[in-house]
Structure 1
Amino acid sequence: MFEKKKVWLGVGSVLATTVAASQVSATALTQPSAAPTMFMAAPMAEGEMAAPEIDLNTNDTAFLAQLGFIRGHLWVGMTLYEQGHIEMAKTHMKHPGDELYSGLTEAFEARGLPGFAEPLNTLAESVINDQSKDVVMNNYNELRDAISANEPIDNMSAKDVILSISSMLMVAADEYAVGIQNGEVANVHEYQDALGFKEIALDRLNRINDAEAHKAQDAINETRQVINNLNNLWPTTTPEGKVDGEPSKIYGAASRIELEARSI
């Protein structure tokens, strides 16, 4: 199976500037090492303006998105696990630690947060080593609690949370573009990643604090509807053959949601 290390440039590009869906490349973003603490968009063509660096040590919106990518991997991994697709689940359990967590360690330290390396590794090992379902589910619940203890979402504005959701969907579109090509399943793992990111983005709307939710109810409702309109792009977690889906729909949703956030 094709595997790649992901550069979450979607975070920087969405937070720093409005990106039209038609201008976003579906080419996979790759790098040989884990995601860095500082993000900067790739060099632009002459006359274009590059997005500024995004510092995970101080930028709550980008930091929340990074944690969302970890949650997305875990969500789809555990969904596959519960559906009995154990070998597929194992590949998703490996990725949060391999690809993402090391890029957050400096941010955890700068923010005075404990991180969650131990429960992340414990869950991965319990799935990979075929421990009992009770053990796996207990480890997953403990890990979710540990991630929550590191998330700034309770103190964030609705605008910033929704911007974070937009950035997650932009990366989900990149993943989907690798997974589904010309209406055919080209890489089921990347398709599944996109599903996990979409599900976590949707869940984030339910965690906006009450005061902010009241102030931004219209934007939240619209964002929820835009995300739900994408559901038919994932007819199953384990597709084969033809899938009637276009990443442009996810890029468009990400841009629409960014506009909603900026209207608050």
Structure 2
Amino acid sequence: MSVAFAYDQEKVDLASGLEEAMGHLWALELNLNEGDYDLANTHALHPVTELYASMKPALAAADLAADVAIANALNSLADRTGSDAPLAQALEAVEETRSIIDYARNATIGPVSDEANFKLIQMGMLLETSIVEYGVAVSGGQIVEQAEFQDGLAFVVRSGQILDTIDAADIGHSTASSMKESLAAVQGAYDQKADPSKVESLTNRIIDDINGVLVLEYSPEKVDLAGSLEKTMGHLWALELNLNEGNYALANTHALHPVTDLYASMKPALAAADLTADAAVES
């Protein structure tokens, strides 16, 4: 997503892998309930064969116990959900794996994973992947790649599940409503085996809504303002250092830099956002 820079990219990518794994679990459960063990096996294997290797470095660096738990859960999932496993036990294995993914997300990504904007970024990444999956899965109104079709649908469904955890007030009630309507339209298009161009268009409506929220939150003006404020904090650190060392010439240099080098570029954004804050910073 275009504004993922607002968060640590490693955490964004790790969360994306975990959310794709959750999507595969949805598809795995669907196929288990329908008795399609071949497709169930495909979705049981995808998280460990396609996702885990890229997640492992970030998982291991953040929390070794979470990495081990995820590795064990994903490596055993196909065996625990095979055709020789009673359905109830197979479904229990799916639910246990969901819980382990939730645990790993909390342990490695932390509170940021609960932020509305972080969740929106994950939705956008899932939806972008879903477009690709559907594009290779459907041709001429027919499913030509069943696993990829289910991948695409699973990522759409998972996006909806994430949206359900976001307080509509955090993104705007009208935007939340628009996203839900568009998600329903996308799922309807899947049911109709619509042309990939239609599914892409419908899915992009949701992505546009997501980008609209994120761009408002992380506009270039806000990013630049935050950068300048952080530079100011750096000068204050250097000012304090030189005061303590009795170097008043260097202290004066760092005292002046924020107002001579930074304030003019910050003033428009400060004044537009909060006149009181602008006056306080200037004084």
TM-score, normalised with respect to structure 2: 0.65
- Identify the residue that residue 184 of structure 2 maps to in structure 1: 228
- Identify the residue that residue 72 of structure 1 maps to in structure 2: 23
- State how far apart, in whole Å, the 1-side matches of 2:110 and 2:19 are: 11
CA shift in 2, pair 1:260/1:101, >3 Å: same
State whether residues 20 and 155 of structure 2, in contact with CA within 8 Å, keep that contact through their aligned partners in structure 1. yes
- State how far apart, in whole Å, the 2-side matches of 1:162 and 1:201 are: 9
Amino acid at match of 1:15: S
Consecutive unaligned residues of structure 1, counting only runs of 5 or more, are: 1-13, 18-51, 236-241
- Identify the residue that residue 216 of structure 2 maps to in structure 1: 263
- Identify the residue that residue 183 of structure 1 maps to in structure 2: 141
Equivalent residue for 2:73, pick from 119, 122, 143 = 119
Residues 149-160 of structure 1 aligned to structure 2 (within 5 Å): 149-151=103-105, 152=109, 154-156=111-113, 157-160=115-118
Compute the displacement of 1:181 (Å): 2.1
The answer to which of 176-185 and 125-134 deviates more is 125-134
Residues 17-66 of structure 1 deviation map (CA, whole Å, 9 limit, x = unaligned): 8xxxxxxxxxxxxxxxxxxxxxxxxxxxxxxxxxx9x9753x3x332222
Counterpart check, 1:148 vs 2:135: no
Compute the displacement of 1:106 (Å): 0.5
Compute the displacement of 1:159 (Å): 1.6
Compute the displacement of 1:258 (Å): 2.2
Compute the displacement of 1:186 (Å): 1.9
- SS of the equivalent of 1:15 reads coil
State whether residues 223 and 260 of structure 1, in contact with CA within 8 Å, keep that contact through their aligned partners in structure 2. no
State whether residues 3 and 214 of structure 2, in contact with CA within 8 Å, keep that contact through their aligned partners in structure 1. no
- Identify the residue that residue 151 of structure 2 maps to in structure 1: 193
- SS of the equivalent of 2:2 reads helix
- Identify the residue that residue 252 of structure 2 maps to in structure 1: none
- State how far apart, in whole Å, the 2-side matches of 1:109 and 1:190 are: 29
Amino acid at match of 1:232: G
CA shift in 2, pair 1:56/1:70, >3 Å: farther
- Identify the residue that residue 200 of structure 2 maps to in structure 1: 248
- State how far apart, in whole Å, the 2-side matches of 1:193 and 1:146 are: 21
Higher normalized helix content (fraction of residues): 2
- Identify the residue that residue 86 of structure 1 maps to in structure 2: 37
- State how far apart, in whole Å, the 1-side matches of 2:102 and 2:20 are: 13
Residues 47-62 of structure 1 aligned to structure 2 (within 5 Å): 57=10, 59=11, 61-62=12-13
Amino acid at match of 2:206: A
Amino acid at match of 2:86: S
**What is the total number of aligned residue pairs between the two structures?**
205
TM-score, normalised with respect to structure 1: 0.69
Amino acid at match of 1:263: L
- Identify the residue that residue 166 of structure 1 maps to in structure 2: 124
- State how far apart, in whole Å, the 2-side matches of 1:102 and 1:171 are: 18
Q: Compare CA radii of gyration and give the structure with the larger one.
A: 2
Structure having greater relative contact order (Cα 8 Å, sep ≥ 6): 1
State percent identity of aligned pairs.
Answer: 21
